[in-house]
Amino acid sequence: MALVTSGSGADQVIAEVAMNGGADPSATTVRATVVQASTIFHDTPATLDKAERLIAEAAGYGSQLVVFPEAFIGGYPRGSTFGFGISISIINPKDKGKEAFRRYHASAIDVPGPEVTRLAAMATKYKVFLVMGVIEREGYTLYCSVLFFDPLGRYLGKHRKLMPTALERIIWGFGDGSTIPVYDTPLGKIGALICWENKMPLLRTALYGKGIEIYCAPTADSRPVWQASMTHIALEGGCFVLSANQFCRRKDYPPPPEYEFAGLGEEPSADTVVCPGGSVIISPSGEVLAGPNYEGEALITADLDLGEIVRAKFDFDVVGHYSRPEVLRLVVNDQPQLPVSFTSAAERTPAAKSDIDTKSY
């Protein structure tokens, strides 16, 4: 694994912005790593093994925070149409897409669940804060989510992607305002948005309003223009931006006919790069600290000078001295949006409520 270094909700176990009041003033720098690596598609146990190897390597370099790409656990179904965009028939080829979805669903993880427990154990074993992109399974609906863990092995909570993009809407459900967390940690206030929801100004503003300092942006977008978005967010939010993407070749996915790539004209060769990465770390002043890397799997690592946050806010504090709340304000509905609710829930005894609460985050 290559090391690239710098030149210089309802699911919460830990309350947001309540651990220690922001970055530890005695700590002037934080060493952070974004992981650029591929899922082992349709093999979640092997992907977890790979994740542990990468976390161990990053921890060996002294990293305190490790950020993984979008959908690292469960996989990003690059090139798959799940039978859509080919025919309007209710029979084939959508029947083939249904089987593809069954396999994809089997690779997803329950939150909480055994895979979450294992990830928490990794965080405590290697003494890192861990931000992990996963495909979350709730019943028969999948969500693109980010999970947060601390070095004590605690699962802090999750962010569910609020707005899937294009064909993602066929296979993933939609998050709501109850999972837009920013966690106050000894490293600083950490949160995440996923891929193109980083382009949503109001959603970014919700994170700024919670005081985000280390802004994680797991993504599947490897285009050069993505770098401009990341730089803009760093400047706009006065925060560090850590964007992690996968580096994938065709051979990282199952071979045809089990898995076929669409939109490339013809089936790519095994060594064809289907996602070149572009993972990057950017400072609050817009300086690229490490990356972007388009060469292969890598650990992109930088030391974050926390004083840069204050220096950046002197010029521009988007929810502070550079805001005009009497003219423009954002209201966020942070309540869970449940499709079914039962009036009898309000009549449960406190003991029964407690029992239910202990079974879900």
CATH number of residue 153's parent domain: 3.60.110.10
Confidence tier at 196 by pLDDT (50, 70, 90): very high
* 273-276/279-282 β-pairing: unpaired
Tens of pLDDT, residue by residue over 283-330, are: 999 999 999 999 999 999 999 999 999 999 999 999 999 999 999 999
Q: What pLDDT is recorded for position 73?
A: 98
Report which of residues 209 and 24 the model is more confident about: 209
pLDDT(9) > 50: no
Contacts 24+ apart (CB under 8 A), 165-174: 165/195, 165/196, 167/81, 167/82, 167/84, 167/85, 168/144, 170/82, 170/84, 171/77, 171/82, 171/101, 171/104, 171/142, 172/135, 172/142, 172/143, 172/144, 173/138, 173/141, 173/142, 173/143
Confidence tier at 202 by pLDDT (50, 70, 90): very high
Q: What is the DSSP letter of 230?
A: H
Confidence tier at 351 by pLDDT (50, 70, 90): very low
Rg of the chain (C-alpha set): 20
Instruction: With respect to residue 22, please indicate whether it lies within any of the assigned structural domains.
Output: no
Q: What is the torsional sign of CA 32, 36, 37, 41?
A: positive
Mean pLDDT of 242-246: 98
CB 226 within 8 A of CB 243: yes
Instruction: With respect to residue 78, please indicate whether it lies within any of the assigned structural domains.
Output: yes
Instruction: With respect to residue 279, please indicate whether it lies within any of the assigned structural domains.
Output: yes
Instruction: With respect to residue 228, please indicate whether it lies within any of the assigned structural domains.
Output: yes
How many domains does one find in the chain?
1
Instruction: With respect to residue 15, please indicate whether it lies within any of the assigned structural domains.
Output: no
Q: What pLDDT is recorded for position 309?
A: 96
pLDDT(130) > 60: yes
* Active-site choice (16, 70, 115, 197): 70
Instruction: With respect to residue 340, please indicate whether it lies within any of the assigned structural domains.
Output: no
- Domain that includes residue 99, residue range: 29-83+92-315
pLDDT(13) > 50: no
Whether 260 is catalytic? no
pLDDT(190) > 90: yes
Instruction: With respect to residue 324, please indicate whether it lies within any of the assigned structural domains.
Output: no
pLDDT(164) > 60: yes
- Name the pTM for this structure: 0.87
pLDDT(355) > 70: no
Quote the mean pLDDT of the chain.
87
Least confident window among 22-31, 46-55, 115-124:
22-31
Number of CB atoms found within 10 A of residue 219's CB: 27
34: left (phi over 0), alpha (psi -120 to 50) or beta: beta
Mean pLDDT of 321-343: 93
pLDDT(193) > 90: yes
Q: What is the DSSP letter of 197?
A: G
CB 292 within 8 A of CB 47: no
Least confident window among 1-10, 115-124, 157-166:
1-10
Any bridge partners for residue 279, and if so which? 293
